[in-house]
């Protein structure tokens, strides 16, 4: 175990990253920026899984979950960027407010 670093340090770090991710999603108007915020949220969960697995003693469930999250984040980014690209071709912008025709 690293000198003086406990589970709580990791949990606080992941909470900070989670909050930053949520803040990014709520404040950004650029589609790519929002997708980056989503990545931050996913990675904050990853830190939690790894920390719990490390301090919880010898179980691989946490690591496996983190690997799957990384893989799915990649898949989601692929689809996200494909949609953003198609949006750009049609709207000539990737600002989510400008690309808004559905309301009510």
Which parts of this chain interact with another protein (CB under 8 A)?
11, 14, 18, 21-22, 25, 31, 34-35, 37-38, 41-42, 44-45, 48-49, 51-52, 56, 59, 61-62, 64-65, 68-69, 72, 75-76, 79-80, 83-84, 86-87, 90-91, 96, 99-102, 104
CB 8 within 8 A of CB 52: no
Looking at the Cβ atoms of 5 and 68, the one nearer to another protein is 68
Q: Please enumerate in sequence order all residues whose Cβ is within 8 A of that of 39, keeping only pairs 6 or more positions apart, or say none.
A: 21, 73, 77
CA distance 26 to 2: 35
């Amino acid at each position: 175990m690293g000198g003086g670093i406990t589970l709580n340090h990791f949990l606080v770090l992941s909470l900070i990253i989670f909050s930053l991710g949520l803040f990014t999603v709520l404040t950004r108007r650029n589609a790519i920026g929002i997708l980056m915020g989503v990545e931050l949220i996913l990675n904050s969960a990853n830190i939690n899984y790894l920390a719990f697995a490390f301090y919880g003693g010898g179980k691989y469930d946490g690591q496996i979950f983190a690997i799957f999250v990384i893989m799915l984040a990649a898949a989601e980014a692929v689809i996200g960027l494909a949609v953003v690209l198609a949006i750009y071709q049609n709207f000539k912008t990737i600002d989510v407010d400008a690309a808004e025709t559905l309301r009510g």
